Structure 1
Amino acid sequence: MKKRMGKSIFLKKVTVSVLTMAVLVSSVTGCGKKESSADVKSVNQIKEIDKDHFFKEEEIKGVIEEGSEDVYLDYVGGKIKCVYLDQAGKYKFVSANTDGTVDKSYEIPVSTNDKHAFFEMDESENLYMQYSDYESDESDQKTGYYLVKFDNTGKEAGREDLLSDAPANSMFSIEGVAWTKDNGLIISSSRGVEKYSEQDGLTCIIDPKLLHSFKNGGRLIKGSDEQLYIHSYNLDDSRLWKVDLANGKIGEPSKCFGETNADKGLSFSRGEGYGLYAALGNYIYGYDSKEDKITEIANLRDSDIGFEEGINRFIAVNEGEFWATFCKDNGGVYLSKLTKVNPEDIKEKTTVTLGGAYINSDIINEVHKFNKTNDEYRIQVIDYAEDCLSDDEADRSVEKFNLDILSGKAPDILAVSADSSDISGYIDKGVLMDLGPLFDKGGTLENIEFLPNVFEMMHTKDKIYTVFSRFTVNTLAMRKRFAEGRTSLSISDCEEIIDKTGVGYKAAFGSDSYKEGIIYCGGDFDKYLDPENGKCSFTDSDFIELLTFADKFPEQSEYDYGMFDEDRGYLEDKAIFRYSPLSNFRDYAMLKYGVFQDDISLVGCINSNSENSAKICPLAEVGINSKTKYKDAAVQFIKSMFENYDPSNIYSSFPSDKASFEAAKKAATQERGEDDYFSLGYDRIKATPLTEAEVQELSNYILSIKNHDDNFGFYTEINRIIMEEVPAFFGGQKTAEEVADTIQNRATTYMNENK
């Protein structure tokens, strides 16, 4: 068997640049700013399930169409009000009873090149829509800014051009719309806070100068008691301010809301019981504006509700019933009713721990599914990095995770990844159980048959210590006619193709067409490392050739297309090589029929030989503590990871087991209806299913991959050494050979110090 490459050399010092948010500091007693230094979590911090804030979830089908995007959710007149955007780009309104039955629905009559910003409803159930009109579907040039009123049947009942008296080319944006009993419709915009009436139009209530200091202009929020708030937010900060309409002022910010992160964003809803409810990450809080105090209402994580991204939108009927939308892993949303459960009705289960640092969301989702269906065990997730606010804290959380494990404090189940787990160290210390016998004939998991090359990758010294249920494929893609039969790319191949097409170096690799971007694309650094003997070979001609090739590219990417339009460069042959991680068969279909709209070739990473140099990247990778008291529970969890694959979810990552992989292949050839589109920037392209031949071609390619990415991401110490040293060559201070020699010495020293 191929020995799985040891990971310990990479993981003694890890810097993670994407940090999780700071959660609300208070519990049930009050507020305050979270300290900048987070307490690193530990497996010792096992706690009982939070029965006082436990809710059950009931998914409500038939209100929001599958694959749609929700844009408005409210509770008016005792009914749930929702607006969503379907896959065909049509806005639809639905009114539903609290038992989930649809009361009425209608399509909102706007053209496909109209893009909404906000919806609001008054007590007579008139719907207000603020939207921008664009020159075309592809254009970002606005031709109008409108406020439209629809009556309770969906018929247009009024329209106001918000830019009718504005100078040409004036900068204007709307940040929120709220309807109040006393003041009617209130609009927060770059012109300040304005009151709208059909008779008088727009009247300024609060000077725009008071809003300019807010991040992102300030979102308008209405509380249950008609009190208005401004919610200002960006990636680093999120605050709530009271609005005083009577005196035209903005109050002091609440002390309960401060540093957050957009990955687990803060959202608000009015509802009975509190002036305002706040959803933040895995919690829902009640907010008392008079006391400036929050109270925990719902613990979504302990309730196993939703996916790890948290709530998308929510409304509060009262403090015991919420309706919320959550993001599905297929890109759409689903609507759920959340109802409080009496503590005495919660069944007792044995707690089993699953720990890691920066745990993959696929694993969290599998835990939620397991906890909902297993009557005997409940898995508690302990993410050591959950509350980190800085790179130093991120490093500390990873170090703490590995220290706990190697000192005998490992969780029952380990969530591992190349970025945060010293797997070789775990194996040497006997921390990980050999899972191989479970998959042998007569074993508990004998019915799970893996893809042969993936199964090979799971082995270390003829044993299996970790398994992964999902994976992605890292590769470059290009037009087949440019590849001219190539299945891999050498640097000389790239140079020849760039010269022949005339594209030039500033755009050949799209947005990766810059010096360090090329190092990433050619960064198959495993081949330069010999962890068994503590040696490396960065002085080889292959690495020096890569440095010389990268130096032909600009310092910074000069790619002409913006973030949403960069794929158009491949369509127009203004770019050639696209770094294209594939998560599923649909990604391949989007490349072929959306991005290139032509036959394509997958050519792996830049390398010096003709082998398939693409890489399998493990996802949802776990191992079992060899000393756990709950082996049966851990094995049940692993089994469940391979039973939950849904072939109809074409966005799910490639499955590792053969049965699920075959189901995914079949699903990739099937039509999904007229409303199935690829989204490429602002464009929608009718999705095309793959033919059986195309599916088999990609399947054969995946099964031919021999490499797997133990070094996933670019935050390992070896990569850091490389990226610290190569600028000296790019800047002309050193030759490529001198830089390679420095990298060789530093990498060798590091490897030997951490063997």
Structure 2
Amino acid sequence: MKKRELLKRITSVSLALTMAVSLATGCGKEKKDGDSILDEAAKGSKDYVFKQEAFEVQGLDTNGLNGLKIVGDRIYLTSYNEDGFINVYSFNSDGSDLKDVKIAAEPDESFSYIDFDKDGNIYGILGKYNWFDGDMGDAPEEAVEEISSENNDDNASDEASKEASDEKKPETVTEEASEEASEEASDVSSEESSEDIDPEEGYAGAEYDEEVNEEYNLVKYDNAGNQVYKVKLGADLEEGDYYSPCGLVYSENYGLIVSSNHDISKFDEQSGFTPVIDVTAQYNGSCFDLIRGYNGDIFVSGYTDEGRLLGTIDFDNKTIGNKSQALNGYNYYSFFSGNGYDVYGADDNAIYGYDLKSDKLVKLMDYVDSDLSLTYNLSDVVAVSDTELIAFVPDFDYNLTLSRLTKVPADQVKDRTIITLGSAYIDYHVRQAAAKFNQNNEVYRIKLVDYSTYNTEEDYDAGVKKFNLDVASGNVPDIMAFDLESPIESYINKGLFLDVSSYFNNDPDVGQAEYLDNIVDAFKTGDKMYQVVPYFEVATVICKASLLKGQTTLSMEDYRNLLQAKNVSPSKAFGLILRNDILAFGLAFSGKDYIDWGNKTCNFNSDSFVEFMEFINDFPQEYDENTMFYDDYDAAFRTDNALFDVTGIYGFNSFKREKYGRFGEDVAFVGFPGSKNTSVIYPGVTLCISSQTKYADGAWEFVKYFLSEEFQDSLDYDFPIRTSSYEKMKKASMEPEYYEDEDGNKQEVEEYFYVGDQEVKVPNLSQEDVDQIDNLVKNSHFIMYYNDNINNIISEEGSAYFSGQKSAKEVCDIIQSRLSIYVNENS
């Protein structure tokens, strides 16, 4: 699981928790009043079940293959450039008649956006890059992770390419690597591309060579692998203009079509390129993928200023026509070709057939119903028909298997009791757990209810609102998965959740294990256990240890004295942070000090909160020309131009960036100024069982998996709550990482960070480092606080003080009045 840059990560936690995740994966289907995805899920439809079988093709080794395509009933696959060749394999949809065509390629060449015609001729874009000498710096950990994430973005190639041409800085390694990976994404599954990039073999990147020569050529080979032509792309561009390929498709009706950030053009050997759509003028340089439609149309898919777009090329009017209304700007679909429907689409939950005439997406296969271990959209797939798919399907360890997926008739789907699991956004841990549970349990089946399907372009957190509204009204799934924004305390007060303490204590698979008591206890309500939090992070504030006198918290007076002693401006004490951000951070640490939900009281007119508002007023409302650039952000902490960093410790290794990168010396955890807490606990996911469920035993069988050794040991970043798993993570964090070179020898991975333009080598964590983190974790007792409505009220009323219209005390009295009403109405 990739982690964002720490500052961005904590900002997203504190300011837009559920909005952010809803943006990432919302399906955006419009819902009518009265529709209930929960009711639909509870019925347990059997219409979307496919059976997975390994697809064996005699003589074909599928390792390293990717780029599934289908032409008629013939399947095509390609290999990476290895031993001077790219192999193109093809076979009939029943696995017969395997053919292998070899295409010569240099080590610095990549072959992407590959397509085929009915005669087996091969078309694609041959890219040529400079490669550096193998010194990866911080790329083994960060660049590879960035690639696996960014492959799923249609615009990644375009955006990264533009940035790369403007800035050639060391820290852009992830963007540069992302560019290359993204260009292959239409033919290479995201998992395969990230796994097969070997760090020690090198990346193309401007940061390692000031004279990067990226060259793209349109190429055609006959069905024996002989080159028919090679034509340079972007040859007519003005100096400084950048060419980024986006897609290629061959159509029997229209010939060869090529998409770039400049245009969509038709190509033939006699006339050369004929522009069809001016992408720069009409769509501001968007990068469009091309998909061959079953009925002859060429489909265009991508993001524009208006959101997600799926349409067809209108060759007569030189534009994109038939723009689908079934999608919105916050969908993420990958589209692919096949027989039957005009095109096919996949999102995080299912595969659909798209009917152009009716402009409808018809759901065909549900991943969870089909027991697939998918946590993202299935991208490397083709449709033999609407009931038979060929795809690279990952297992729980992300190993890919070439598989045949065949529809199971509804009357052949085994009956099992449906247990619904609902969330505003269902993360990958929950998805994988549901798939495992469904594969192994003969009595119950988990049915996911993803409320992010309510999200629209106009309201990207509609799913959050709908989920919380359903829960508050008692229309609840059997199991609920919450993040930090949901008002869980209010739901507990309303009696919506089952106390699972007896299950936790008496289940032999759980009760005999040891867990981190302070974390488990933090989520209890008295002696009741309504919440199960299987993994977590710790938020804190870090500064140099040399600046302190052993304090673990700082009063506001301590804080101001330290700023004065170091001659640091209050507006820059926390680096690049705006006023609304610091408000959210402060409330995250101290919000519960001002609200007592149980007694329905609050004290926002207290002296401490007035002092807090005065503290917030020191921070800028927006950045100006005197604000430090982001490139200088880390360096500011080393030079004492900034003193405090609000950050999240997500696993032991995340501490490396703070101590050895950002600060460059021993650091201390001090919590937020004025707060009583050195740290607060940020739950990864909170699982609750409905008090109304008819299937409490079955629901617990699912929930307890998250407490198992298998799951807890699998956590790579967030802290596990099982003591044995936590201790394993602690020990592993001090051990060096290795990779195996081409001779089979173990080589230690060296880790680097960039601080400004300085490369910093990061050592392994010491016992002292690990003990410091361990002490922080085990002395964390309070949950991070977040309530968007409360934050908005404080920000809204506080504006009168920040603009000088009222005193801090006056606005705090108004805040107290408004929030007293809010707390009473929502307790």
Range class of TM-score, shorter chain: 0.7 to 0.9
Contact map agreement 1:439 1:448 (CA 8 A) in 2: no
- 1:179-578 alignment, distance < 5 Å: 179-180=250-251, 185-196=256-267, 203-208=273-278, 212-213=282-283, 216-224=286-294, 227-234=297-304, 237-244=307-314, 247=316, 249-250=318-319, 252-255=321-324, 257-262=326-331, 265-289=332-356, 294-322=361-389, 337=403, 339-343=405-409, 344-359=411-426, 361-384=428-451, 386-389=453-456, 390=459, 393=462, 397-398=466-467, 400-405=469-474, 410-427=476-493, 429=495, 431-440=496-505, 445-482=510-547, 485-498=550-563, 504-511=569-576, 513-523=577-587, 524-558=590-624, 559-562=627-630, 567=634, 575-578=642-645
- Return the alpha-carbon distance in structure 1 between the equivalents of residues 231 and 548 of structure 2: 55
CA gap 1:40/1:725 in 2 versus in 1, 3 angstroms? farther
Paired position in structure 2 for 1:580: 647
The structure where strand makes up a greater share of residues is: 1
Aligned: 1:743 with 2:812: no
| Unmatched segments (≥5 aa) in structure 2 | 1-15, 129-160, 177-205, 741-748
**Corresponding residue to 1:636 among 663, 678, 701:** 701
Paired position in structure 2 for 1:167: 238
- Return the alpha-carbon distance in structure 2 between the equivalents of residues 742 and 238 of structure 1: 43
CA gap 1:670/1:72 in 2 versus in 1, 3 angstroms? farther
Q: What amino acid maps onto 2:313 in structure 1?
A: V
**Corresponding residue to 1:707 among 762, 782, 793:** 782
Aligned: 1:54 with 2:10: no
Q: What amino acid maps onto 1:349 in structure 2?
A: R
- Return the alpha-carbon distance in structure 2 between the equivalents of residues 528 and 310 of structure 1: 43
The offset of 1:615, in angstroms, is 0.7
Larger RCO, structure (CA 8 Å, separation 6 or more): 1
Q: What amino acid maps onto 2:723 in structure 1?
A: K
- Return the alpha-carbon distance in structure 1 between the equivalents of residues 640 and 53 of structure 2: 49
**Corresponding residue to 1:673 among 716, 726, 738:** 738
CA gap 1:474/1:63 in 2 versus in 1, 3 angstroms? farther
- Return the alpha-carbon distance in structure 1 between the equivalents of residues 126 and 553 of structure 2: 52
Secondary structure of the structure 1 residue equivalent to 2:649: coil
CA gap 1:396/1:78 in 2 versus in 1, 3 angstroms? closer
- 1:586-665 alignment, distance < 5 Å: 586-593=653-660, 595-596=661-662, 598-601=664-667, 603-608=669-674, 612-643=677-708, 645=710, 649=714, 651-665=716-730
The offset of 1:598, in angstroms, is 2.7
Deviations 1:454-492 (A, max 9, x none): 122132122222221111211223444455644334444
Paired position in structure 1 for 2:190: none
Q: What amino acid maps onto 1:147 in structure 2?
A: Y
TM-score by length of 1: 0.78
CA gap 1:286/1:678 in 2 versus in 1, 3 angstroms? farther
Tell me the matched-pair count.
705
Paired position in structure 2 for 1:81: 78
The offset of 1:119, in angstroms, is 3.2
**Corresponding residue to 1:730 among 761, 780, 802:** 802
Paired position in structure 1 for 2:36: 41
Deviations 1:69-108 (A, max 9, x none): x9965458634336699xxxxx999979899x99899998
Contact map agreement 1:323 1:336 (CA 8 A) in 2: yes
Q: What amino acid maps onto 2:618 in structure 1?
A: K
- 1:68-107 alignment, distance < 5 Å: 74=69, 78-81=75-78
- Return the alpha-carbon distance in structure 2 between the equivalents of residues 239 and 136 of structure 1: 33
Deviations 1:602-648 (A, max 9, x none): 52531336x54211122332233345332221221122112264577
Q: What amino acid maps onto 2:586 in structure 1?
A: G
Contact map agreement 2:302 2:308 (CA 8 A) in 1: yes
Kindly report the root-mean-square deviation, in angstroms, between the aligned alpha carbons of the 2 structures.
4.7
- Return the alpha-carbon distance in structure 2 between the equivalents of residues 56 and 362 of structure 1: 22
Q: What amino acid maps onto 1:298 in structure 2?
A: M
Contact map agreement 2:27 2:453 (CA 8 A) in 1: no
The offset of 1:362, in angstroms, is 3.4
The offset of 1:164, in angstroms, is 3.9
CA gap 1:298/1:204 in 2 versus in 1, 3 angstroms? same
The offset of 1:527, in angstroms, is 1.2
Q: What amino acid maps onto 1:695 in structure 2?
A: V
- Return the alpha-carbon distance in structure 2 between the equivalents of residues 92 and 466 of structure 1: 53
Q: What amino acid maps onto 2:777 in structure 1?
A: I
Q: What amino acid maps onto 1:128 in structure 2?
A: I
- Return the alpha-carbon distance in structure 1 between the equivalents of residues 472 and 252 of structure 2: 59
The offset of 1:143, in angstroms, is 5.6
Paired position in structure 2 for 1:29: none
Deviations 1:656-706 (A, max 9, x none): 221222232233234443496879799999886534443333122101112
Q: What amino acid maps onto 2:783 in structure 1?
A: H
Contact map agreement 2:535 2:720 (CA 8 A) in 1: yes
Deviations 1:715-754 (A, max 9, x none): 1x32222121111111111111112222122222332344
Secondary structure of the structure 1 residue equivalent to 2:708: coil
CA gap 1:734/1:497 in 2 versus in 1, 3 angstroms? same
Secondary structure of the structure 2 residue equivalent to 1:445: helix
TM-score by length of 2: 0.72
CA gap 1:505/1:174 in 2 versus in 1, 3 angstroms? farther
Secondary structure of the structure 1 residue equivalent to 2:648: coil
Deviations 1:399-453 (A, max 9, x none): 5323442xxx543333344533444444554x43332222336766312322010
Contact map agreement 1:471 1:619 (CA 8 A) in 2: yes
Deviations 1:55-78 (A, max 9, x none): 24579999678xxxx996545863
- Return the alpha-carbon distance in structure 1 between the equivalents of residues 470 and 570 of structure 2: 43
Q: What amino acid maps onto 2:383 in structure 1?
A: A
- Return the alpha-carbon distance in structure 2 between the equivalents of residues 510 and 329 of structure 1: 40
- Return the alpha-carbon distance in structure 1 between the equivalents of residues 241 and 252 of structure 2: 32
CA gap 1:82/1:516 in 2 versus in 1, 3 angstroms? farther
| Unmatched segments (≥5 aa) in structure 1 | 1-13, 26-33, 86-90
Contact map agreement 2:420 2:477 (CA 8 A) in 1: yes
Aligned: 1:119 with 2:113: yes
Contact map agreement 2:583 2:616 (CA 8 A) in 1: yes
Deviations 1:119-178 (A, max 9, x none): 334445565245768556556889655214788999999876544432233365543233
Secondary structure of the structure 2 residue equivalent to 1:475: strand
CA gap 1:422/1:695 in 2 versus in 1, 3 angstroms? closer
Percent identity, please. 24
Contact map agreement 2:484 2:682 (CA 8 A) in 1: no
Secondary structure of the structure 1 residue equivalent to 2:497: coil
- Return the alpha-carbon distance in structure 2 between the equivalents of residues 439 and 514 of structure 1: 43
CA gap 1:239/1:601 in 2 versus in 1, 3 angstroms? same
Q: What amino acid maps onto 2:647 in structure 1?
A: S
Q: What amino acid maps onto 1:598 in structure 2?
A: G
CA gap 1:307/1:691 in 2 versus in 1, 3 angstroms? farther
The offset of 1:255, in angstroms, is 3.9
The structure where helix makes up a greater share of residues is: 2
